[in-house]
Amino acid sequence: MDEKVTVISHPLIQHKLAIIRDKNTGSKDFRELLSEVAMLMCYEVTRNFQLEDVEIETPICKMTAKMLTGKKVAIVPILRAGLGMVDGMLKLIPAAKVGHIGLYRDPETLKPVEYYCKLPLDIEEREVIITDPMLATGGSAVDAITLLKEKGAKNIKLMCLISAPEGIKAVREMHPDVEIFVAHIDEKLNDHGYIVPGLGDAGDRIFGTK
C-alpha cells in the first residue's frame, strides 16, 4: 500500500469496528463507538504534528518540555455522517475549529450533490482533517477536497472508518497530495455503490433515519 494511505489496525479499533458493523447495533451504541474510534484514529492522524521546546517548571525543578507548535487545525465533517466523528476528535484537539461541508450522494447517479459549505475564515492556514465514516466510490471525498482547495486549504488529510478500494483509488488519483487514514479497506462496492461488507448507510445508522 502506498505511503499516503494508512490503515489503522489497532486491536481496540478493530474490536469496536466489528460492533459498529453489526446490524444489531442500534443508533446509541453506533454513535458512541464511532466517536470512540474517531478519537483513537485521531491519535494516529496527528502523529506527525510538530513539537517545540518549552520551558516549564515542575514542582521539583525547571525543565525543557515538548508542546505542539502553534499549528492550527480544522476538522471538517462531510454531512451528515462525518458529524459522528467530530466529538471524538475534539476530545483530543479541543482548540480545533470545525467547518462543515454538506454533500449527499444522488441515489441514481451516485454523484455527490453539494448543499452546504461553511468553513473557518482562515482555512488556508489550518491543517485540515476531513471526517467521513464511508469512502465508497470516493465521489464525495474528492468533491469535498476540491472545494476545500478552492477555498485555499493546502494541508488536507482524509479520515474515514471504512473504505472500498475504489474510493481510495479515486482520491489518490484526483488528490495525490492528500493523506488518507482508514480503519479498514473492505472488499468492494455492490451495484448500489454500498461498501461490502461495510456497515450499511452510515448516516441512517447514526441518526436513526431510513
Q: What are the residue numbers of the active site?
A: 105, 109, 201, 204
CA pair distance 79, 102, nearest whole angstrom: 5
Strands (E), 95-172: 97-98, 100-105, 112-118, 127-131, 134-135, 155-163
* Interacting residue with ligand PRP among 41, 86, 129, 135 (CB under 6 A): 135
Residues comprising the chain, all counted: 210
By CB under 6 A, what part of segment 21-60 binds ligand URA? Answer: none
* Interacting residue with ligand PRP among 35, 101, 132, 175 (CB under 6 A): 132
* Interacting residue with ligand URA among 8, 134, 171, 178 (CB under 6 A): 134
CA pair distance 127, 124, nearest whole angstrom: 8
* Interacting residue with ligand PRP among 80, 126, 175, 184 (CB under 6 A): 80
Tell me whether residue 49 or residue 115 sits nearer to ligand PRP (CB atom).
115
DSSP 130: E
CA pair distance 57, 55, nearest whole angstrom: 7
* Interacting residue with ligand URA among 37, 96, 101, 136 (CB under 6 A): 136
DSSP class per residue in 181-200: EEEEE-SEE-TTS-EESS-S
Cis peptide bond N-terminal to 107, omega within 30? no
Q: Does 139 bind ligand PRP (CB under 6 A)?
A: yes
How many residues bind ligand URA (CB under 6 A)? The answer is 10
Grid coordinates in use for 132? Answer: 467521513
Of all residues in the shown chain, the one whose CB is closest to ligand PRP is: 203
101 binds, among ligand PRP, ligand URA, none (CB under 5 to 8 A by kind): none
Q: Does 207 bind ligand URA (CB under 6 A)?
A: no
Residues found near ligand URA in the complex (CB under 6 A): 81, 134, 136, 193-195, 198, 201-203
